[in-house]
Amino acid sequence: MDTLRDKTIHVESYGCTFNHADTEKIVAVAKRQGCVQVPAEEAECIILNTCTVVGATERAMLRRIRAFAGREIVVTGCMPVVQRNLLLETDPTLHLILPEEMYRTCPEVGAMTDPHTGVVQTGTGCLGSCAYCITRQARGPLKSFSADAIVSEVERLAAGGAYEIQLTGQDVSAWGMDIGLDLAYLLEQIAGAKGDFRLRVGMMNPATAGRIIDRLAPAFAHEKIFGFVHLPVQSGSDAVLASMNRGYTAAEFEAIVAAFRKEIPDVRVSTDIIAGYPTERCRESDETLEMISRVRPTKVNITRFSMRKGTPAALHRDLPDWVKKERSRALTRLTERIYDEENLRWIGRELPVLVTEQKKDGTVIARDATYQNIVIPTEIAMGTRLRVKVTGHRRHYLLAEPL
């Protein structure tokens, strides 16, 4: 981190919410050391916080490095841990900062990522050993941050103007399992924290969420916690899940979703699917479509399988790209139909919402209790709570008028 001293800097951040929180920490350290942020063309030093979760992202990172050839470049994030040689082959003059070095310099577990949104990290690493995942190699085993540190950071960010606080980690539902606690306990502590905020809980692995579901689902019912769960299932086939080493079955995933819906009938369920995993055959792809039809998630992140060197999945023969594309398109067609059908049942309903973002002049984005994306075509101050009537939808968000 000493290289970031008394310079003009340009910062680019890629990847997950966790990474973006890390970027804000890097910027804070750099500013404390006399650095000033400027546009890329004016910067003495370029900082890239990298992601390498899939091959396309890795290639994008390398293109950004080449785009700044001849400049001083600092690279942090996942790539310096797992792809050090690749980075230095691309540009031998790079300065590499490992995440652990950054955490020693900036031990805070949270950051503001925009004027009204805060991100709080639950810890680093995870308990899983998924066969396709390179992030596990980059972030290591689970190291939970303390409940006191997390709650204190939530209160600090709320006092600083954050109306939405996002809890993030490689597997948020694994929090505490290395220190004798669990996420349900942490959510109870956060629900009692001072401040006017709503909490969005980040990605949870069904393998760890399932262990504590009897206590976890009721914890989400608190008014300060959005009724939104991100549970990546990855496949609806037990054979593929076993090959992925995910640690649960499709039926167990569905039982977890049912438990959340019992506590919060309108809970929004987001999941992830890998299309074209090497061991996935046609029947197993159909099983995934059938599961999505039963569960009817309100958001599905579809990723075509990407071989990551050094992972167990890389030992398998990759499927042709056309097969991955075909399966990805079938999933997209199904999920878009589900989104449209689910959105129709909200039209005409009146909802209490919290205004959290403004991306365009003349409109604001609000969230209801289940974290639905609701666009209101008028200027309203951030943090305002009001009632709206849903008037329409655009597949990925609802339209509403204030009452």
What domains appear along the chain, each with residue ranges and CATH number?
A: 8-102 (3.40.50.12160), 109-344 (3.80.30.20), 350-402 (2.40.50.140)
Q: What is the pLDDT of residues 258-287, one digit of tens each?
A: 999 999 999 999 999 999 999 999 999 999
Tell me what the mean pLDDT of segment 217-236 comes to: 97
What is the structure's pLDDT at 348?
97
pLDDT at residue 94 in the model: 95
Closest CA to 299 of 231, 249, 355: 231
pLDDT attached to residue 31: 93
Q: Is 138 exposed, middle or buried (0-12, 13-18, 19+ CB in 10 A)?
A: buried
Check pLDDT > 90 for residue 375: yes
- Between strands 143-144 and 123-124, the pairing is antiparallel
Q: How confident is the model at residue 83 (pLDDT cuts 50, 70, 90)?
A: very high
pLDDT of res. 389: 98
- pLDDT beyond 90 at 1: no
Look at residues 224, 147, 226 and name the one whose alpha carbon lies nearest to residue 189.
Answer: 147
At 30, is the pLDDT very low, low, confident or very high (cuts 50, 70, 90)?
very high
194-206 pLDDT, tens digit each: 999 999 999 999 9
Q: Which residue has the higher pLDDT, 360 or 279?
A: 279
pLDDT of residue 223: 93
Residue 331 near residue 188, CB atoms below 8 Å: no
In this prediction, residue 38 carries a pLDDT of 96
Structure tokens at 184: 């349900």
User: How far is CA 245 from its chain centroid?
Assistant: 21
Q: What pLDDT does 358 receive?
A: 87
Give me the pLDDT at residue 2, please: 79
Strand partners, 10: 46
Q: Is the distance from CB of 172 to CB of 202 less than 8 angstroms?
A: yes
Instruction: Compute the average pLDDT of residues 149-155.
Output: 97
Rounded to an integer, what distance in angstroms lies between the CA atom of residue 63 and that of residue 159?
Answer: 39
Which residue, among 254, 251, 234, 252, has the nearest Cα to 243 in the 3D structure?
Answer: 234
Q: With the C-alpha atoms ordered 306, 311, 312, 314, is the resulting torsion angle positive or negative? A: positive
Share of the chain above pLDDT 90, in %: 90
| Rounded Cα–Cα distance for residues 305 and 277 (Å) | 5
What is the edge-to-edge ordering of all strands in the sheet holding 36-37?
Answer: 36-37, 8-13, 45-50, 72-77, 95-96
